[in-house]
Amino acid sequence: MSFDAAEIRADFPVLDRRVNGHPLTYLDNAATTHTPRQVYDVFEEFYAGYNANIHRGIHELSHEASIAYEEAHDRVAEFLGADGREEIVFTKNTTESINLVAYGLSRGLDAGDEIVTTEMDHHASLVTWQQIAKRTGATVRHIPVTADGHLDMDAARELVTDDTALVCAPHVSNVLGTINPIEELVDLAHDHDAYAVVDGAQSAPTRPVDVGAMDADFFAFSGHKLAGPTGIGGLYGKRAILEELDPFLFGGEMIRNVTLTDSTWNELPWKFEAGTPPIAEGIALGAAVDYLSELGMENVRAHENDLAQYLLGELADREFVRTYGPEVGEERTGLVSFNVQGVHGHDLSSLLNDRGIAIRAGDHCTQPLHDRLEIPGSARASVYVYNTREDIDRLLDVVDSAREDLDGYLASERYHDLIS
Ligand code: PMP
């Protein structure tokens, strides 16, 4: 299929709506992407056609639901380059996936162990490992971020030692857009017999991922960032490691045999999917990865980079704007964080919203990274498959007039209502 953002928009009816009298310009994709008809149709098909609990019932609807839910794991496995459905656990999101790994690995951690993460980690990872360290007595070390928004790999080589139990890093930063040298980090972890855990929340949606080639032990992602619904995400784990890992949640479906005093676990991946899962969401996740595969992840990658370079180049030309992360020319995903001099990100966001433009402002769940950048927050514009240069031009128009418009805005009734 040829890649044409204007054509792709037709699959996303929400993009036709108006916000505050303007056509919606949706540039908050790093937070959540929109869902195409091909994906949300799954909900109607499921609830109107074969809604039933999976695995348990020997009746037609349960059989159909089970097959569809299980096959969704196959599609995700194929999308990520995993070695079959046994290596794909459905979870709620990236956060739950990282918590699942952390809980499972925590049994082997104690005071002599070190956990290496990065200064650019999302709170989903940063807070999880920090709290696991408090419980186990392990120490967390952080790979620093350089002034130009990269991981300091020299420091990483010093930080990862034979005391390191695991290394966890984002494949792509959700603030800087930096694509981290993830294979190098995975190798570094393995050189020291440590586990390599990859936060793929921003990479799985935006570029081809091959967990086999990456050799990561775990790779976490969210469905709602890759054209899927909320409430569903996943964890890739190497089969041999998942076999050994303790389950995170106990209950029905994850067991094989239960007595009053002991239990044994179901086969992979069901061992990690206790209770009734979000069935329609899981099937819809399968439809989402099919949708993206049809577009071609290489095309998605090129489109993201193209729009990001355009936006970054335009912002870099404005002396009243400061951008963060790698400079123009270096490949990145389609997100750019920036600040307009003298304008708070939330005020910029409100000005943009008045024109129907959605971006995000704040710390993007990376407070330590913002401390490192010595800023309280930033505005972040992020594109996806349906965005065009026109969307970015509309954003730039508001950026250009923001300082002037803000005087009027701060005196306006709307602002008064917002703060009172
Ligand atoms: N890691 C990164 C890099 C992210 O961008 C996000 C979402 N902003 C998360 C983790 C958490 O994702 P979720 O809220 O879907 O669990």
The total number of structural domains that make up the chain: 2
Is the CB of residue 106 below 6 angstroms from any atom belonging to ligand 1? no
Do 18 and 356 meet the contact criterion of CB atoms below 8 Å apart? yes
Record the tokens describing residue 158, joined without a space: 């010093």
Nearest atom (ligand 1) to Cα of 173: 3
**CATH number of 51's domain:** 3.40.640.10
Is the CB of residue 201 below 6 angstroms from any atom belonging to ligand 1? yes
Is the CB of residue 304 below 6 angstroms from any atom belonging to ligand 1? no
Question: Same domain, yes or no, for 234 and 337?
Answer: no
Whole-model pTM? Answer: 0.96
State the Cα–Cα distance between residues 125 and 96, nearest whole angstrom: 10
Position 114 pLDDT exceeds 60: yes
Question: Same domain, yes or no, for 124 and 229?
Answer: yes
Average pLDDT over residues 63-77: 98
Q: State the pLDDT at residue 55.
A: 84
Average pLDDT over residues 10-34: 98
Is the CB of residue 180 below 6 angstroms from any atom belonging to ligand 1? no
Using one digit for the tens of pLDDT, what is the confidence trace for 259-309? Answer: 999 999 999 999 999 999 999 999 999 999 999 999 999 999 999 999 999
Average pLDDT over residues 380-401: 97
Q: Is 168 assigned a catalytic role?
A: no
Average pLDDT over residues 94-120: 97
Question: Same domain, yes or no, for 23 and 52?
Answer: no
ipTM: 0.99
**CATH number of 395's domain:** 3.90.1150.10
Q: State the pLDDT at residue 419.
A: 60
Q: State the pLDDT at residue 39.
A: 98
Using one digit for the tens of pLDDT, what is the confidence trace for 179-201? Answer: 999 999 999 999 999 999 999 99
State the Cα–Cα distance between residues 143 and 151, nearest whole angstrom: 7
Q: State the pLDDT at residue 386.
A: 98
Could you tell me the distance, in angstroms and rounded to a whole number, from the CA of residue 31 to the centre of ligand 1? Answer: 8
Q: State the pLDDT at residue 418.
A: 62
Q: What are phi and psi of 115, to 5 degrees?
A: -115, 125
Give the domain extent around 408.
5-30+296-419
Q: Which of 299, 365, 375, 400 is catalytic?
A: 365
Question: Same domain, yes or no, for 263 and 359?
Answer: no
Using one digit for the tens of pLDDT, what is the confidence trace for 230-244? Answer: 999 999 999 999 999
Looking at the DSSP assignment, which residues form a beta bridge with residue 258?
263
Record the tokens describing residue 71, joined without a space: 């096959």
